Amino acid sequence: MTVLAVTLLVGSVAAFTYTQKLKLERSPVGTAHFDRWLSPECDCPHRIAQLSFELRERERIDASIVDSDGDRVTRLLAASEQGPGRVMTAWDGRDEAGRIVPDGVYRVRVRMRDERRTIVIPVEVHVDTVPPRAVLLGVSSTTLAPGDPIEFRLETNEFGRPLLLVDGEVAARGPQGKPGVRRVVWAGQVSGVPLPTGLYAVSLVVEDRARNRSEPTAAAHVAVTAGDER
């Protein structure tokens, strides 16, 4: 019993010492730069996430995407010889079978074969394939004169940026913000150029952080005037 107790004590001290040593050592994986939001079906740059991380020493590594349970989704690199410096890779939001993964949070797991050590980088990649919703609540006026902008009010269910469309073309952008009632001010211009006198169909969409866009709201028909026709 005494020998067993001593053996267990020595094992516990050794394990504790090894754990503390690992805590004090600088991680072999340094700063990570990830595209944080990804929408695989979006017709935009966010359909692929660019991923990079710093490797402090030469290593032979595997890099994988893992889900919130730590299960591997797909492999990005296999037995890849990498020198010290930045390792560049990318992910298209699909698993090893080519299927789009469920919406959620994903991370990159790096296994160093020579060092026999595995690190999960804590930076998150959010897969979001569901567009937000947007409803037009009202407009301050349906007549717009030069120097007298009008305000549109809309409601959305998701964090994002409202975009104002004139005949389908983006004419104004609101700031990013939380779900709820949002406002966009329009001065009668498209790409900085004042529109000629006429009647225009104006609608709004909301673009979320993964660049998914809502369906356009109902259109408001706004008459742009020369300034003395209101």
| Cβ atoms 171, 165 nearer than 8 A | yes
Rounded CA-CA distance 72/8 in Å is: 35
**pLDDT over 70 percentage in the chain:** 87
List the one residue out of 132, 67, 121 whose CA is nearest residue 89: 121
For residue 14, is pLDDT > 60? no
Could you read off the pLDDT of 41-68 as tens digits, one per residue?
Answer: 988 889 999 999 999 999 999 999 999 9
pLDDT at 140: 96
Rounded CA-CA distance 38/88 in Å is: 17
Rounded CA-CA distance 195/188 in Å is: 6
In the structure encoding, which two tokens stand for residue 218, read together?
């109902």
Q: Give the pairing type, strands 220-224 and 104-112.
A: unpaired
> What number is the average pLDDT over the span 196-202?
95
Could you read off the pLDDT of 122-166 as tens digits, one per residue?
Answer: 999 999 999 999 999 999 999 999 889 999 999 999 999 999 999
Average pLDDT, the chain: 89
- Full DSSP string of the chain: -HHHHHHHHHHHHHHHHHHHHHHHSPPSEEEEEE--EE-TT-SSGGGSEEEEEEESS-EEEEEEEE-TTS-EEEEEEEEEEE-SEEEEEEE-SB-TTSPBPPSEEEEEEEEETTTTEEEEEEEEEEE------EEEEEES-SEEBTTB-EEEEEEESSSEEEEEEETTEEEEEPPPB-SEEEEEEE-SEETTEEPPSEEEEEEEEEEETT--BPPPPPPEEEEE--SS--
List the one residue out of 210, 198, 217 whose CA is nearest residue 40: 210
Residue listed under structure tokens 């937000």: 132
Q: Give the pairing type, strands 143-144 and 104-112.
A: unpaired
Could you read off the pLDDT of 206-223 as tens digits, one per residue?
Answer: 999 999 999 999 999 999
pLDDT at 116: 87
pLDDT at 16: 47
Could you read off the pLDDT of 64-119 as tens digits, one per residue?
Answer: 999 999 999 999 999 999 999 999 999 999 999 999 999 999 999 999 988 889 99
